[in-house]
Structure 1
Amino acid sequence: MTHTVAAPAAPTRPDVGGPQVPAGTASAARTAPSSASPVPAPSAERRRARRRRGLREGLLFAALVAPNLAAILVFSYWPTIYNVVLSLMDWDFISPSPVFVGLQNYVDLLQDPEFGTVLANTGVFTAVTVGGTLVGGLGIGYLLSRRLRFAGLTRTMTFAPHMLPGAAVGIVWLFMFDPTYGLSRLAFNAFGADSPQWTTTSDWSLWAITVAYAWQRLGFVAIIYYTAILDLPKDLFEAASLDGAHGWKLFRSMTLPLLSPVTYFLLLTGIITSAQAFDIIAILTSGGPGVSSTTLTWMVYDQAFLRFDIGSSAAAATVLFVILMVVTVLQTRFAERKVHYS
């Protein structure tokens, strides 16, 4: 008679509160790596190294920025702040120390009957020079972008006036405006009229400095527009031409919107530089006769260095600064809606 012996069962380990599992399975479970094991926290040495690296980068950044920041503070912000302080003082460059008068300089400035004329002159001078150079520069830039003979010479001659110093431009136009020998008399003689006294009469003095300054800046605006037109995407114009857009319609609907960033740049810089024009005024008219060609910039100089009224000069400079800041803010907000950068 044959007896069948059963294989011994695998030993089990008692597990409190859980089912009985084979010992081999438990051993494998203990040795298998867990995929959800937590990432060990960085050691203290790593944290210290990270802080040292951040400190070095911060010191390097400060060392690179400090010279430029110091120059801006010393040569830009501090003169502006000190000018505002001087506008609250009464000083003539001779007294040992200024005398605080509060807002009296601003009150006197606003009550001065000539101040309204000066503001109007500044507005007319800026509007005509900026507007005229934008329109004329765009036209010249568009012509330069066409294939012309002697294109290099033409571009050089266009940009040359901008390279001349303002004093040299003033002297050139002083001879041009001469009613007896100047070239401007030829234009008036062609119509049977005599050349006006450009620089010595109140009716023409403002227009004299306006024409001279616009002539100097026109070449710069034209070259900027010329380079911008060359960079316009040609495929868009080819597609628009296939859709039937030609001539003025193509220029108005395609070219002008694509040139809006350049126009905004020229408008902003043109207003700022025109409001600060000085050398051409000094050579041609010296702000006269009377205040017929006086702008705010010339008024600042006249009050400080000809009349030795530092408080009034600083007050006029502060008014000019506020006007330019307001115009810049308004232009920036307008540019956010109208200027296309893509």
Structure 2
Amino acid sequence: MDHSQPVAAVSPSLAKRRARIRANRQQGWAALLFLSPWLIGLVLLTLGPMAASLYLSLTDYSVLEAPRWLGLANYTELFVDDKLFLKSLQVTFTYVFVSVPLKLVFALAVALLLNKGMRGLGIYRTVYYIPSLLGGSIAIAMLWRKMLGGDGLVNQVLLKLGIHAPDWVANPKYAIYSIVMLSVWQFGSSMIIFLSGLKQISGDYYEASSVDGAGKIRQFVSITLPILTPVIFFNLVMQVITSFQSFTQAFVISNGTGGPLNSTLMYSLYLYKKGFAFFQMGYASAMAWVLLALIGLFTFLVFRSSRAWVHYEDGGR
């Protein structure tokens, strides 16, 4: 007597489902293989150093000796005892709140001029974009320091006009604004993005408003600005993040000191001095995490404010 059980037949739908699962699994492994260089870089070059920095921010680490655990002592000293920390925040806030609006306004104004369909638009666009490529270099910062010095080109031109100008770099009242001017001069990247946004605005809006008797200013306020608010929002976020991390200009113009009288002591420059001049790497790591928190806070505030002033063509905000 045969006691063997008959093998149940696999339905075609179940077989297709299993084949699809195998194919998806193979595609998943293939995708993971192609992503592996990025994932390895993320872990080794980003997440790993961030974790190490967070640990070091809780220690006394001078590079030459092993880290010594301090807990939150670095953060306590930073907010309670370090007067230069508050000074660096003041200088950085002045730089950000002055340079970012000026750069965006200047970039938008130039983009509006280039949007007129003039001849040689590509050449003008390239010329105006060059400062963004070169402005962050040490050579340009040194040239800028020479131009704004007491006997620099700027003062020589003003002197011929009968204006006796101060030494912009050596005067504590104006030193930070020399860095602001250098930042505003690098408006090219924002200008290109604004110009791209202006190209997307349909001419039908302007034709319809002209029929209703709207002038150029009215068209700019009622049509151009509202439609361009998503682009303004993007540029604002990017410039805020970049400005808080500004370092090269302040380092070169002040010869790495943050002077005169700490008037150009940007936060990133003070962080650098703590870590690489005084070898207080644990303290510098704590400053780096505070900077990350500041950038996150201001970015969050910009995103929250966007609900009130950023308009999208589909009616959403």
TM-score tier, shorter chain, comes to 0.7 to 0.9
Pair 1:100 & 2:69 matched: yes
Secondary structure of the residue aligned to 1:199 is coil
Q: What is the percentage of aligned positions where both structures have the same residue?
A: 30
Look up the equivalent residue of 1:338 and give its one-letter code: W
TM-score by length of 2: 0.87
- Equivalent residue runs for 1:89-238 within 5 Å: 89-95=59-65, 97-110=66-79, 111-148=81-118, 150-164=120-134, 165-180=136-151, 182-186=152-156, 188-189=158-159, 192-215=162-185, 217-238=186-207
Task: Note if contact 1:299-1:316 (Cα within 8 Å) is conserved in structure 2.
Answer: no
Q: Deviations over 1:123-180 (max 9, x none)?
A: 1111111110111111111111124455443323211211214212202211211212
Task: Pick from 213, 227, 233 the counterpart of residue 244 of structure 1.
Answer: 213
Query: Aligned partners of 1:243 and 1:72: how far apart in 2?
Result: 55
| C-alpha distance 277-42 of structure 1, shift in aligned 2 (>3 A) | same
Query: Aligned partners of 1:103 and 1:229: how far apart in 2?
Result: 49
Task: Note if contact 2:57-2:74 (Cα within 8 Å) is conserved in structure 1.
Answer: yes
| C-alpha distance 51-310 of structure 1, shift in aligned 2 (>3 A) | same
Superposition CA RMSD, Å: 2.1
- Equivalent residue runs for 1:1-342 within 5 Å: 42=12, 44-95=14-65, 97-110=66-79, 111-148=81-118, 150-164=120-134, 165-180=136-151, 182-186=152-156, 188-189=158-159, 192-215=162-185, 217-285=186-254, 286=256, 287-342=258-313
Secondary structure of the residue aligned to 2:187 is helix
Query: Aligned partners of 2:92 and 2:145: how far apart in 1?
Result: 21
Q: Deviations over 1:175-219 (max 9, x none)?
A: 211212x2211454266442312222322221121111221x222
Look up the equivalent residue of 1:201 and give its one-letter code: N
Look up the equivalent residue of 1:251 and give its one-letter code: F
TM-score by length of 1: 0.81
Task: Note if contact 1:296-1:317 (Cα within 8 Å) is conserved in structure 2.
Answer: no
Look up the equivalent residue of 2:277 and give its one-letter code: L
Task: Note if contact 2:96-2:243 (Cα within 8 Å) is conserved in structure 1.
Answer: yes
**Equivalent residue, structure 2, for 1:14:** none
Task: Note if contact 1:84-1:315 (Cα within 8 Å) is conserved in structure 2.
Answer: yes
Q: Deviations over 1:282-316 (max 9, x none)?
A: 21112212421111111110100011111211111
Q: Choose 1 or 2 for highest CA Rg.
A: 1
Query: Higher relative CO (CA 8 A, sep ≥ 6), structure 1 or 2?
Result: 2
Query: Aligned partners of 1:315 and 1:289: how far apart in 2?
Result: 26
Task: Note if contact 2:106-2:184 (Cα within 8 Å) is conserved in structure 1.
Answer: no
Note the residue ranges of structure 1 that are not aligned, 5 or more in a row: 1-39
**Equivalent residue, structure 2, for 1:32:** none
Look up the equivalent residue of 1:221 and give its one-letter code: S
